[in-house]
Amino acid sequence: MAEPTAFDEAADEPGSARADRDRGSERAETRRGPERLEAFSDGVFAIAITLLVLEIRVPPAQDLDTSAHLLSALGALWPSYLGYLVSFATIGIMWANHHNLIRLVAIVSHGLILSNLLLLLIVGFVPFPTALLAATLGTPTGQIGVLVYAGTFVSIAVAFNVLWDQVRRGRGVLRPDVDRRSVDSITRSYRLGPPGFLVAFVAALINPAWGMAVIIGLVALYLLPSSSGA
């Protein structure tokens, strides 16, 4: 076996260029980019948005005997259509905001992973309150359906703020080249979410229709590009 040369020994010293490069490579390998986090999140958003349509069911066989009965049965499904449209728009907006948020991430921290899982936990739950809303809207228990629906959106808004806080305040998480005006714009729009949907919840306590009106208004507001920092 060949003896190590003086050059090899010098290169292995702590202050050598080779040692610095090796340490740099090790640090680069331990850094986690946002690609896998975004891919996993996209999958959850896609599943949640797909499950929504399963709650729009074909009318029972007894309503298929005549065109008049079928049209009446289809019209009676209006709560399902409304819940589907509002929830589809909401999940779509969440996906767009999540995409624009993740593009600001340089590295993924443990706190960011946990806060992202919290958000996805609630996103995956959205089909249930949507189904409950569709089943109860226009009935004596409609208020409960709207309250659960609004309460879910309050939770989502809080989770989005927790996620954004991890991006904004996490050590080294936010890309250093991100414009401060974009950060401030996203912060302002996200802060509107929890109190806004809380207003919808309180309005639903008074009148379910008022609660739904506030929810639809907030969804329309979040369609604006400024809400996602785009």
pLDDT tens for 138-164 read 889 999 999 999 999 999 999 999 999
In the chain, the number of structural domains is 1
Distance CA 224, CA 220 (A): 7
pLDDT tens for 61-120 read 777 778 888 888 888 888 888 889 989 998 998 898 888 888 888 888 888 999 999 999
Tell me whether residue 15 is in a domain. Answer: no
pLDDT tens for 28-53 read 444 577 888 899 999 999 999 999 88
pTM score, whole prediction = 0.78
pLDDT over threshold 60, residue 3: no
Phi/psi of residue 207, each to 5°? Answer: -155, 120
Locate the DSSP E strands across the chain.
none
Tell me whether residue 24 is in a domain. Answer: no
Tell me whether residue 126 is in a domain. Answer: yes
| Mean pLDDT score, 165-172 | 83
Distance CA 193, CA 226 (A): 14
pLDDT band at 55; cut points 50, 70, 90:
confident
Q: What pLDDT is stored for residue 220 in this prediction? A: 87
Phi/psi of residue 229, each to 5°? Answer: 75, 10
Tell me whether residue 143 is in a domain. Answer: yes
Query: Distance between the two ends of the chain, CA-based, in angstroms?
Result: 61
Tell me whether residue 221 is in a domain. Answer: yes
Range(s) of the domain holding residue 173 = 33-228
Distance CA 168, CA 166 (A): 6
Q: What pLDDT is stored for residue 42 in this prediction? A: 92
Tell me whether residue 167 is in a domain. Answer: yes
